Amino acid sequence: MADSITAERREIVAGFKFANNAVSIEAAPAASRTNLRATTAGAKSFGKSISLELPTIMHETASKAGRHALKLGPDEWLLIDTKNINDSMVPRLANKNFSAVDISHRNCAFVISGAGAANTLNTACPRDLSLAAFPVGTCSRTLFGKAEVVLYRTAKDTFRLECWRTFATYVRDYLMDGAKDAHI
């Protein structure tokens, strides 16, 4: 059997799009993702391996050439590559200072944008999403209804929401229900 991929990759909510006068919600295209748990040294050396200096302050992010690094915990980063979506970022050789695990298929993402984006999220997310409390470039794990999510504010009125694959339909439907009140 050939080494080339003969199977089709399916995203759970591929192509989903919704918009009203206050907010638009779209499924983000497939991406490559890595969960990095690391010491300070480990984060540095991993960053080098993907040519992206990882943020060192909690909830900060760094982006370059379609790659995003989100610092979610003291020793935890979520890495998202929106360009090379089928390439793993996990180095071949083990490194004693970090654990890199491919989670490209574990997560999927929505992009929520528009004047009512924060309102839509605040339907079921208890966090203060004002620009002062959650500035552009900030990320955080939190919850949306009963789903664990990662929020990443990419612009004044744009959020990327990452959730686990099997929570995607729940999150999608909840966002759409919340969107009905987003203009308020």
Query: Applying CB under 8 A, which residues contact other proteins?
Result: 1-12, 30, 35, 37-39, 58-59, 72-76, 88, 94, 96-107, 119, 122-128, 130, 133, 140-143, 145-148, 164-167, 169-170, 173-174, 177-178, 180-181, 184
Residue number, 65 or 170, with CB nearest to other proteins: 170
Tell me how far, at minimum, the Cβ of 17 lies from other proteins, in Å: 19
| Burial class (CB within 10 angstroms; exposed 0-12, middle 13-18, buried 19+) of 20 | middle
Residue number, 94 or 155, with CB nearest to other proteins: 94
Residues contacting residue 109 through CB under 8 Å, at least 6 positions apart: 27, 28, 31, 80, 160, 161, 162, 163
Residues contacting residue 175 through CB under 8 Å, at least 6 positions apart: 18, 25, 110, 112, 120, 121, 123, 144, 161
Residue number, 8 or 51, with CB nearest to other proteins: 8
Tell me how far, at minimum, the Cβ of 74 lies from other proteins, in Å: 5
